[in-house]
Amino acid sequence: METGKSPRHDPGVDLRALGNTPQDFARDLLSNLYYERGTTVESASAQDMYDSLARTVRDRLAERRARTAAAHYQANPRWLYYLSAEYMLGRQLEQNLLYTGTTDLAREAVPDFDTTAAQDVEPGLGNGGLGRLAACLLDSLATMDLPAVGYGIRYDLGIFKQDLDAGGQVERPDDWAFQGNPWEFPAPDDNQVVGFYGKVTSVDGRREWEPAETVLGEPSHMLVPGYGTDTVNIVRLWRARAAQGSFDLTRFAHGQYAEAVADVVRSENISKVLYPDDSTDLGRELRLKQQYFLVSCSLRDIIRRFSFRNDGNWDEFAAKTTIQLNDTHPVLAIPELMRLLVDEYELDWDRAWRITHDTFGYTCHTLLPEALETWPVATIENLLPRHLEIIYEINARFLAEVSERFPGDVARIQRMSLVQEEPERRIRMANLAVVGSRAVNGVAALHSQLLAETTLRDFAELWPGRFHNVTNGVTPRRFVKIANPALSDLISSALGSDAWLRDLSLLQGLEPFAADDAFRARWREIKRANKLTLGVAPDFLTDVIVKRFHEYKRQLLKLLHTITLYQRIRAGETPAPRTVVFAGKAAPGYWAVKDVIRLINAVAATVNNDPAVAPYLKVFFPANYNVTLGQRIYPAADLSEQISLAGKEASGTGNMKLALNGAVTIGTLDGANVEIRDRVGADNFFLFGLDAAEAATLRSSDYRPRDYYERDDELRAAVDAIGDGTFAGGDRQAFGGVLASLLDRDEYLTLADFRSYLDAQAEVEKVWLDAEAWTAKSILNTARSGYFSSDRTIADYTRTIWGLDPVRVNP
């Protein structure tokens, strides 16, 4: 048991008396309705019923959780702690019904099940791929019985909700827990005190930090059940609270109401809102406060848990504890652990450094320079003065090591230093992460290779053994079984069991069915039905590009193709009918792509209102792409667009979700696309575009997008249509920014890849018109994508980086 309180108390009753007969379930539901909500079946609102159902399901997991905690206490295992500023957990109800095997019981017991289930709100505590990956990894860790805790921040407001107003993105706050969150267990007694600002003094030869401000971190946890096992792990989320007594009664008495709560508000703002900037470094002080808040609370909690069975035995710490840093957001954990060990537990520096270094692993998720976090020295000095001293000390010792290996190589030392000098002094968080970790990994084979050759090259030369690849994966439970129940049933009946849900390599067994007419017909029927559920035409090719909006992801390239299709149809051509689905959010301040969203919707309005075009082309932009919407889109997709400029997308994970649902990919050799193509076969993947080396060469040469524009008539016509008011009621200025960015800069080589992309799309269309050939490719994509299960990802981490053993939970 890991709460630290009365570990071996055995209540002497069997809580599994939470039975699974329809009577048991109905009784527990009623009991929750009466005793937790204080209402009756007759007067229950949809929210009352939802909350009671959630508790009824949750209690079944809670009992497994108690057994898991007991097994973990018994085993005293090596633990994995996953530190992440983001988790995109997705809706909980359907998952937890599935994992407890109570779906049918719930449908029977709840009067209006669909209305009740529709109350379930997805906790959107992340931006995109990085946050969703964290959730998939937690799912797989539990499924594989590995002892792990996820640590994160319980933001009051998650990723904003996206509305479309006149085609443009409008952001609304996501007050996700407004009606309460029945999945969460508060643990206020496990709170931690976090310090900020203040000064450092020397006391008896030791450095002592006296913070000027303190905030409470109050944890709560959500359950993370494994599939097909009794293991239930937790994700522990911290919420900032003002210390008791922060309300200023004196000010209140003087009528200064806002001032009376100023301290409370200031403290609680730390976990108020998720920063909505994906893969860009914003550099706001509050963000640094969030990062330190997460790290400080989590490390103290980790030490508390360690001390419970291994008190004071610091030489065991790194053997019992491995902490994975999800990108650089939690990298202050490195100086914070040093501070705790040296200042608070009084270990000498070298011993503390050995422990720290042996404890951490760092996963990098990008190659984009603008995503590599740096913080001004002045900001850190003000907020975390002792941490800055520690970072300087780490740097001094590290640079001495570099000088010894590369004497006189001043340029190298400047590049590797944790401190950037120009144009202002800043701390390079990725460098700190690499120096302070035992293992560093990228998230796809190409990404890890490029990291070692470019972004982190100096470090890979110094410590080649520290660098690894762990290709991302996705959970097949949520993204196939729950998202696509009909396809899952077909797969299970073809394979003779549902064992594939815990061993996705078994999907290979589907390969022979690609040649089976009846199976192919059934496969197509399911795709058709899934399109109807999504609300798109069942016989059109469903062509999807769903992901965060970024220039490097090149939604504009897809749009240029769409405009060309429109112009061809207007000119009398009759291409294969297709629906182009765009979905995704843009960071609120990222105007370049907000204009792209506006342009897509302007094109959609023109295309969708043109009766001459209607039989051949539709453009669909459902608002507010999130996990829930993704679960509806992936099963309906025929074509998966993965068209980032090669060398820019670290991995991608939507590509995997789509392939597993039978979408065929059109893509560049970027991120995990490379591995998808290797596995599904070049014949079952539509490749186009520059590769990473070619793209880098072209970008560093005198690239002139206008040359491509002038040489290609269709490209010119499509670009001209953006600038001549075709999609803006004649207003030539409406999309001037987009036009200029394409013709003057085209940073992501959209025009250079346009013709190659259109050629590949022509190939797509040819194959699509042969429904049998297309379906065979679709089936083979599913059959050969078992590698992209996050269970395999976890097996790789466990083997190459974490060295964890499973702990089985007694039934």
Residue whose entry in the numeric block shows the structure tokens 């050629």:
759
Q: Is 585 a catalytic residue?
A: no
- Is 139 a residue that touches ligand GPV (CB under 6 A)? no
Separation of alpha carbons 383 and 385, rounded Å: 6
Separation of alpha carbons 81 and 325, rounded Å: 9
Separation of alpha carbons 177 and 123, rounded Å: 8
Q: Which stretch binds ligand GPV (CB under 6 A): 125-133, 176-184, 192-200, 224-232?
A: 125-133
We find the least distance from the C-beta atom of residue 656 to ligand GPV, in angstroms, to be: 9
- Is 675 a residue that touches ligand GPV (CB under 6 A)? no
Q: Which stretch binds ligand GPV (CB under 6 A): 127-135, 191-199, 493-501, 531-539?
A: 127-135
Separation of alpha carbons 238 and 191, rounded Å: 9
**Nearer of residues 520 and 657 to ligand GPV, judged by Cβ:** 657
- Is 219 a residue that touches ligand GPV (CB under 6 A)? no
- Is 330 a residue that touches ligand GPV (CB under 6 A)? no
| Residue 442: CB atoms within 10 Å | 28
Question: Which listed residue (90, 123, 124, 129) binds ligand GPV by CB under 6 A?
Answer: 129
**What phi, psi does 371 have (nearest 5°)?**
-95, -10
- Is 443 a residue that touches ligand GPV (CB under 6 A)? yes
- Is 279 a residue that touches ligand GPV (CB under 6 A)? yes
We find the least distance from the C-beta atom of residue 280 to ligand GPV, in angstroms, to be: 8
Question: Which listed residue (169, 192, 366, 665) binds ligand GPV by CB under 6 A?
Answer: 366
- Is 641 a residue that touches ligand GPV (CB under 6 A)? no
Secondary structure element (H or E) that encloses residue 140, with its range? helix 129-143
We find the least distance from the C-beta atom of residue 24 to ligand GPV, in angstroms, to be: 41
Question: Which listed residue (29, 110, 342, 371) binds ligand GPV by CB under 6 A?
Answer: 371
**Residue 116 three-state SS:** helix
**Nearer of residues 100 and 472 to ligand GPV, judged by Cβ:** 472
Question: Which listed residue (120, 218, 649, 753) binds ligand GPV by CB under 6 A?
Answer: 649
Question: Hey, what are 672's tokens?
Answer: 């995990």
Question: Which listed residue (330, 635, 652, 689) binds ligand GPV by CB under 6 A?
Answer: 652
DSSP assignments along 313-351, one per residue: -GGGHHHHEEEEEESSTTTTHHHHHHHIIIIIS---HHH
We find the least distance from the C-beta atom of residue 764 to ligand GPV, in angstroms, to be: 23
Separation of alpha carbons 390 and 793, rounded Å: 34
We find the least distance from the C-beta atom of residue 451 to ligand GPV, in angstroms, to be: 12
Question: Hey, what are 592's tokens?
Answer: 């370049």
**Nearer of residues 155 and 566 to ligand GPV, judged by Cβ:** 155
We find the least distance from the C-beta atom of residue 674 to ligand GPV, in angstroms, to be: 13
Helices (H), 665-770: 673-680, 692-700, 705-711, 713-723, 736-740, 750-769
Whether the Cβ atoms of residue 743 and residue 642 lie closer than 8 Å to each other: no
**Residue 752 three-state SS:** helix
- Is 630 a residue that touches ligand GPV (CB under 6 A)? no
Task: Classify strands 161-165 and 192-196 as parallel, antiparallel or unpaired.
Answer: unpaired
Q: Which of residues 25-64 bind ligand GPV (CB under 6 A)?
A: none
Q: Which stretch binds ligand GPV (CB under 6 A): 87-95, 394-402, 646-654, 657-665?
A: 646-654
Q: Is 657 a catalytic residue?
A: yes
Whether the Cβ atoms of residue 321 and residue 306 lie closer than 8 Å to each other: yes
Catalytic residue among 365, 387, 447, 520: 365
Question: Which listed residue (365, 426, 428, 554) binds ligand GPV by CB under 6 A?
Answer: 365
We find the least distance from the C-beta atom of residue 338 to ligand GPV, in angstroms, to be: 24
We find the least distance from the C-beta atom of residue 371 to ligand GPV, in angstroms, to be: 4
Q: Which stretch binds ligand GPV (CB under 6 A): 167-175, 266-274, 650-658, 790-798?
A: 650-658
Look at the chain and count its residues: 811
Catalytic residue among 553, 554, 784, 792: 553
Which residue pairs, CB below 8 angstroms and at least 24 apart, start in 666-670? 666/639, 666/640, 666/641, 666/642, 666/757, 666/760, 666/761, 666/764, 667/640, 667/641, 667/642, 667/643, 668/642, 668/643, 668/644, 668/753, 669/446, 670/446, 670/642, 670/644, 670/645, 670/646
- Is 327 a residue that touches ligand GPV (CB under 6 A)? yes
**Nearer of residues 191 and 326 to ligand GPV, judged by Cβ:** 326
**Nearer of residues 343 and 649 to ligand GPV, judged by Cβ:** 649
Q: Which residue, 538, 549, 485, is CA-closest to 738? A: 549
Q: Is 481 a catalytic residue?
A: no
Question: Which listed residue (96, 441, 472, 624) binds ligand GPV by CB under 6 A?
Answer: 472
**Nearer of residues 192 and 472 to ligand GPV, judged by Cβ:** 472
Q: Which of residues 751-780 bind ligand GPV (CB under 6 A)?
A: none
Q: Is 116 a catalytic residue?
A: no
- Is 430 a residue that touches ligand GPV (CB under 6 A)? no
We find the least distance from the C-beta atom of residue 334 to ligand GPV, in angstroms, to be: 18
We find the least distance from the C-beta atom of residue 377 to ligand GPV, in angstroms, to be: 22
Alpha-carbon distance values, 58 to 13, 22, 62, 97, 168 (Å): 19, 16, 6, 9, 39
- Is 220 a residue that touches ligand GPV (CB under 6 A)? no
Whether the Cβ atoms of residue 159 and residue 175 lie closer than 8 Å to each other: no
Question: Hey, what are 284's tokens?
Answer: 């706001």
- Is 133 a residue that touches ligand GPV (CB under 6 A)? yes
Catalytic residue among 657, 677, 784, 792: 657
Question: Hey, what are 327's tokens?
Answer: 């990108």
**Nearer of residues 125 and 216 to ligand GPV, judged by Cβ:** 125
- Is 140 a residue that touches ligand GPV (CB under 6 A)? no
Task: Classify strands 148-153 and 206-210 as parallel, antiparallel or unpaired.
Answer: unpaired
Q: Which residue is nearest to ligand GPV (CB)?
A: 129
Question: Hey, what are 85's tokens?
Answer: 């500023």
Alpha-carbon distance values, 658 to 14, 462, 498, 650, 685 (Å): 43, 39, 20, 17, 13
**Nearer of residues 83 and 402 to ligand GPV, judged by Cβ:** 83
408 sits in the region (left: phi over 0; alpha: psi -120 to 50; else beta) called: left
- Is 281 a residue that touches ligand GPV (CB under 6 A)? no
Helix/strand/coil percentages in the chain, nearest 5:
50, 15, 35
Separation of alpha carbons 74 and 309, rounded Å: 10
We find the least distance from the C-beta atom of residue 372 to ligand GPV, in angstroms, to be: 8
**Residue 486 three-state SS:** helix
- Which amino acid is located at 33 in the chain? L
**Residue 470 three-state SS:** coil
**Nearer of residues 453 and 759 to ligand GPV, judged by Cβ:** 453
Whether the Cβ atoms of residue 238 and residue 218 lie closer than 8 Å to each other: yes
Question: Which listed residue (191, 246, 448, 653) binds ligand GPV by CB under 6 A?
Answer: 653
- Is 121 a residue that touches ligand GPV (CB under 6 A)? no
Q: Which stretch binds ligand GPV (CB under 6 A): 148-156, 597-605, 648-656, 708-716?
A: 648-656
Q: Is 229 a catalytic residue?
A: no
Question: Which listed residue (110, 130, 380, 487) binds ligand GPV by CB under 6 A?
Answer: 130
- Is 676 a residue that touches ligand GPV (CB under 6 A)? no
Catalytic residue among 428, 548, 578, 618: 548
Separation of alpha carbons 457 and 347, rounded Å: 33
Catalytic residue among 102, 366, 653, 775: 653
Q: Is 365 a catalytic residue?
A: yes
Which residues form the interface with ligand GPV (CB under 6 A)? 127-130, 133, 278-279, 327, 365-366, 371, 443, 472, 649-653, 671
Active centre residues (catalytic): 365, 547-548, 553, 653, 657
